[in-house]
Chains A and B, each alone.
Chain A
Amino acid sequence: MFVRFQADDIVPNQQETVTRAMFSNNVGNLITFFTSSAQTAAQKTYYYELFNSASRSPTAEAQFSIAFGHRFGSGSAGEGGQVDDTPSRAIYSQYRQLCLDAGIKSFTNDGANSNFIYVFNFNRSRLKDGIDEGNIEINLHHLSGSQYIGGPGTNSAHTGSNVKLGNARALRLVDDSKIASATMTSAGEVYNIVSGSIENGVFSSASPKYYGKIFPRLGVVVLDGRKLDLSASFGTVTGSNVAGDNAFKLYKSISGSAAKLTDLSGDKLGLSARSKEYVKSTHYFVRARASQFNFSNNPTFVTGSDGDLAISDFINDPKVYLTTIGLYDDNKNLLAVAKSSKPIQKSFRKETLIEVKLDY
């Protein structure tokens, strides 16, 4: 009844990379974004957690978080009124610790320091083992920064209800993995974020326009705030000890793009991404030779209490239908079970080879 696997029947530790749409319900292009009513005002000075539907809805699931960081603490207010303990400084330091090699003080983009950054941080349950590089597209609607600051307002006041959608234009960003190889750091592979789209590739691939970095293994995208000010009119508040609520600008921009803008084919310009998962598996080759497994202990296979074959056709020519494969250890503990999609006939004239895949 139990047949021992031969050494070459077991192929261990095979790895398969499985990619999926990043967001809940197999959504690859997220076009609805909701902040969380459960977050406190203090938490929102650090980050916003974004959901796919109203956060109190039973179907709502957290998708990713956004945050704003400033190397020197500007653009947010500290509780003690000092720039050293502001949330923006804490966020910048946090991502520096996560993403950069020890001793490096600042994010860089296109050779210059990024002293203030906007961050996407994808939720672990969405991310699996990482972002599938080459398949992420961030669309940012232009904001009202330059009109407001150049007109009636000041930089410090470009926050709250003063932040509006600007010209109906999108800044479309992708990673440069299609045209460049990764830089390896202690955070794994790092690619640049450049202007372009998944559909049309990197814009001006001979001289790309750089906007930040993506850290696929961490599920983090860091955008250079200075470049967003220039190209998407973010009007980032950079005053010292001013509650700028800059992270909300990123929310305003991505949600505005998804709601208002489409590409040439009419698709909404939301946030597109795929996750990547490394699935480890062992393959077991189950071989039922012609002379093996041709009788059954199934109660319908026999008749009466003596175990007589119930079907006269099966005398000297038994046929059985296997449906289930059990994998056992030496002590006959049943460790795993596999079932075929349909009954497989087995007889003295048939051999069967079944590959059983066990994922970990």
Chain B
Amino acid sequence: MGYLNNSSIVIDAVLTKKGRELLARGQNEFRVTYFALADDEIDYTLWNSDHPLGSAYYGRTIENLPITEAVTDETQVMKYPLVTLPKNTIRIPVVSVAQNSYTFKSPTDRITITPNTVNFPSGNIALGYTAVLSDSDVATFVSVSPSPAQASGQDTASSVPLAISDLESSQTVTVSGTSFVLSGKFSTIRSKKSTLTIIGNETGGRVTIELTVNRLTQTNSSAANITV
């Protein structure tokens, strides 16, 4: 007679860079209130419906997969969130944006990103989207349109990015809403790149936009009336 599995599994968590940042700020900002699940590194093409030993073995290869340790870069984990959808769903909601890359050419440039969810009626309309800018040195949020749930106070997620002082550098910035306007942070030394990841708060799904900020030169600064 074998032993049954215990009903709960205990696993250790590691702090992300963002988690450490908020702890280090020492302003009681480290408060876990939500969880999400993901299946990063699973390849469902390994599901084998033709396994000779029958249906109990269809997922055998996936189940035997050794899992890698968690990395602490919050932009590199939770890539493929699991979502809650009706049982008869045959199409997974897809988050899309108008363009997958954008280059800020002058300091006056702005990009407005309004994500859209297809395959799911009213998907992410209530709770909106979470936008994660991976490097605060490259761009900044100019404005964010809050979701209906944020506007009514049902969702306490902020549509205003956490204030980052001039003394702090290179952090991820997370904000929630339905539409996001960003501007570039220019440097006279070199051009810079970062990513903006948009995640559907209800349906999951994500899309990543590559952001480039050109080096500030005499040419592109004159249009903005800036002396280099």
The CA-CA distance from A310 to B46 in the complex, in Å, is 12
The CA-CA distance from A249 to B58 in the complex, in Å, is 70
Contact, CB under 8 Å: A333 / B74 = yes
**Provided the pairs A342-B66, A355-B9 are in contact, do residues A1 and B93 lie with their beta carbons within 8 angstroms?**
no
The CA-CA distance from A288 to B89 in the complex, in Å, is 19
Contact, CB under 8 Å: A298 / B44 = yes
Contact, CB under 8 Å: B32 / A5 = yes
Which of A3, A284, A316, A330 touches B157 (beta carbons < 8 Å)?
A330
Which of A3, A309, A345 touches B59 (beta carbons < 8 Å)?
A345
Minimal Cβ-Cβ distance residue in B for A311: B47
Contact, CB under 8 Å: A307 / B74 = no
The CA-CA distance from A321 to B82 in the complex, in Å, is 9
- Expressed in whole angstroms, the minimum distance between the Cβ of A280 and any Cβ of chain B is 12
- Expressed in whole angstroms, the minimum distance between the Cβ of B71 and any Cβ of chain A is 8
**Provided the pairs A302-B92, A321-B39 are in contact, do residues A1 and B84 lie with their beta carbons within 8 angstroms?**
yes
The CA-CA distance from A339 to B203 in the complex, in Å, is 22
Contacts of A312 in B (CB 8 A): 49
- Expressed in whole angstroms, the minimum distance between the Cβ of A308 and any Cβ of chain B is 6
What total of chain B residues lie within 8 Å of the partner, measured CB to CB? 81
Contacts of B15 in A (CB 8 A): 335-336, 358
Assess whether B167 is interfacial by the CB under 8 Å rule: no
The CA-CA distance from A339 to B39 in the complex, in Å, is 10
- Expressed in whole angstroms, the minimum distance between the Cβ of B9 and any Cβ of chain A is 5
Assess whether B142 is interfacial by the CB under 8 Å rule: no
The 0/1 profile, CB within 8 Å of A marked 1, for residues 67-103 of chain B is 1111110100110111111011111111000000000
Contacts of A341 in B (CB 8 A): 11, 67
**Provided the pairs A293-B82, A333-B18 are in contact, do residues A327 and B89 lie with their beta carbons within 8 angstroms?**
no
Which of B16, B176, B201 touches A336 (beta carbons < 8 Å)?
B16
Assess whether A125 is interfacial by the CB under 8 Å rule: no
Assess whether A344 is interfacial by the CB under 8 Å rule: yes
The CA-CA distance from A149 to B44 in the complex, in Å, is 82
Which of B43, B63, B89, B200 touches A295 (beta carbons < 8 Å)?
B89
Contacts of A306 in B (CB 8 A): 91, 94, 118-119
Assess whether A180 is interfacial by the CB under 8 Å rule: no
B interface secondary structure, majority? loop
A interface secondary structure, majority? strand
Assess whether B174 is interfacial by the CB under 8 Å rule: yes
Contact, CB under 8 Å: A333 / B204 = no
Contacts of A357 in B (CB 8 A): 10-13
Residues of chain A from 69 to 85 with CB closer than 8 A to chain B in the complex? none
Contacts of B74 in A (CB 8 A): 333-334, 337
Contact, CB under 8 Å: A339 / B11 = yes
Minimal Cβ-Cβ distance residue in A for B76: A337
Q: List 28 A-B contacts (CB under 8 A).
A: A2-B35, A10-B32, A284-B32, A285-B8, A288-B37, A293-B84, A294-B85, A296-B82, A296-B204, A300-B42, A301-B92, A302-B92, A305-B94, A307-B94, A313-B47, A316-B88, A321-B39, A321-B42, A323-B42, A327-B13, A329-B34, A330-B33, A331-B162, A336-B32, A337-B70, A343-B67, A355-B9, A357-B11
Q: Which residues of A contact B (CB under 8 A)?
A: 1-5, 10, 282, 284-286, 288, 291-302, 305-313, 315-316, 318-346, 348, 353-359
